[in-house]
Chains A and B, each alone.
Chain A
Amino acid sequence: MMRLPASLLFAFTLVVLGVGATRGEEPPLLKADVEAGKLPPMAQRLPRTPLVVDITRPDWTIGRYGGELRTLLAKDRDIRMMVVYGYSRLVGYDDQLNLVPDILERVENVDSRIFTFHLRPGHRWSDGQPFTSADFRYFWEDVANNTDLSPFGLPRILKVRDRGPRFEVLSDTAVRFTWDEPNPMFLPALAGPSPLYIYRPAHYLKQFHPRYIGLDKAKAQAKEAGARSWAGYHQKKDEQFRFDNPDLPTLEPWINTTPLPSTRFVFVRNPYFHRVDKAGRQLPYIDSVVANIADGKLIPAKAGTGDVDIQARDLRFDNYTFLKENAKRNQYRVLLWAKGIGSQIALYPNLNVEDPEWRKLMRDVRFRRALSLGIDRHEINEAVYFGLAKESSNTVLQRSPLFRQDFRTAWTKYDIKAANALLDSIGLGKRDAHGLRLLPDGRAMEIIVDTAGESTEETDVLELVRDSWRKLGIALFSRPSVREVFRKRVYSGKSMMTVWSGLNNGIPTSEMSPDELAPTAQEQLQWPMWGQYYENGGKGSEPPALPDVKELVDLYEKWRLSGSPAEREQIWLQILGIHAQQVYTIGIVSQALQPIVSRNRVRNVPAEGLWSWDPGSYFGMYHPDTFWLDAQETR
């Protein structure tokens, strides 16, 4: 609250200084080029109706042009984060998680079945070429339906019950996708941090495509470049998300200018970017973003020494005290944003474990409930998270409109007595000399929890869980390994239980897909084989054996084909209700915090926010294109 008067005063100064008063003022970086005639003036670079970014946050101000924003990435390949942060999408989420048109001028959606997209007339790619329906047609005809480029068919999201949409070009600036049945996944997929790209810079990619240059030339070109096939070469040039081809035109606010490999990547402003601020000045404010590559483990240290202007990736909560300590000396703030994942840490009983005795237990809801009741979440929160997290099951967070208090509290109260009573009722009453319960076949109950061995946070929490489970007569051992081994053990049913973070999307609305709550993918740690069964279209391995899990699949299928928002919300709540009662995953705490280092001179970074991959695109939904650098603050 202290910040408010200061920022108001600041806004006032801006008005007095007359900054941003002139409409259409050129960014200084481009001025010379415009005056020399190399670049058309701003009015001609913008679409006829640009997107006006209007942020009403009290500490948000109209910015000034210029400057270089420094950040750190752990690998060359991480430059895709600039596409995540840039967050230029056909449709995107605003900071209230509403889906709004961004690149598109408007979307007409009939029953989630017929989607008509209207582009912004006069919108251009970063190289100045027009962005039109031809770019959609290129994707549809020459990429998605080309057997060399897409040997495995259309992207899965474009298929409803194995059938793709009808695609029509209505005009230069309008295209339509029509499915026979509703496809509610479509728009959220376009708004994702790693979006489904249904358009391509056709004018650029044509030079690699045999349809336009002939097969011989395409093949020869690819061979010369050292690629195995023309499709591989085309694919390599066409990585809109990887962002590793500086020649590929883009619609993002900043363009990558550095080819791989490098230790320093420079992204410069896109002169044809389609967004403006309230005063009609073209965004982004910041001229260039510089991403230096440093080892992930050193990034916290470097952030603490003031090597960055903004940094969140690769900072962890346990760096907080160190970062805070150096904040004043190196002139930065440490913000704490709420993480958007369902649980910071959760246990996953493997319902597909190969040991038949254990499999029976894991599939018994009483057993899972007892394990959940036997965790002292309050103690864990205080000891590991300074009491800043929330004790919770693995469900959606309070910010989500689908949140219900009883989902969060279901089977999470620490109650050893009730837990013991549940275990007794399963018939696990016999104990050995050490007080451990015995399985029906006489073995002592020892649960081995696999961890991916990446953080001490997991082992710290497991240590505390072990103490309280001991009171249930159950021993816990943790087995650290490495990611690939970890995954293999889970998939093959060798692992009994695993520890991982909870739901990837903790803030869903009913418009987002509930796929991670139903067995739909092998990587779901609680039922890998059932997930794989779905993934393979009902072939191989085993189908879900529990009635409630089958119901989850049915509900998910129903959601996928649902045409009405009310029904989709109903389905979501049903799914979450089943999860709360069935405790397929044992959430421990949620809403842990993500530290963000932001230099004092960087403006318009919200003090509080949501650090979420999808929806949110991390910084993306808070408009980094409106961040700006205050030259009056010292570097």
Chain B
Amino acid sequence: MTRNGILVDYQYCTGCYSCEVACQAELDLPLEQWGVKVLTNGPWPIKDAEGNPTDKYVYDNIPAFSRVCDLCAEREAVKVDPDAQAV
């Protein structure tokens, strides 16, 4: 049986936090409780073999989904294309 999941490309995540706010709204979560939370690693410079900092950095935004994520089941069930014109 197929299952759905959410695929995130960390190369593209800019850390805009739209997912955090949208999820709180969709699940009606109170302030400071997150269905998905964006964690940040960096920026910090990568060091070379001699221990000198190079001009390459690690700077990743990593959305982490919590157990309350239901893959927007309510929206899925209704099967309405959000881009379609309102009638």
- Co-assembled chains A and B: no
Residue positions of A touching B, CB distance < 8 A: none
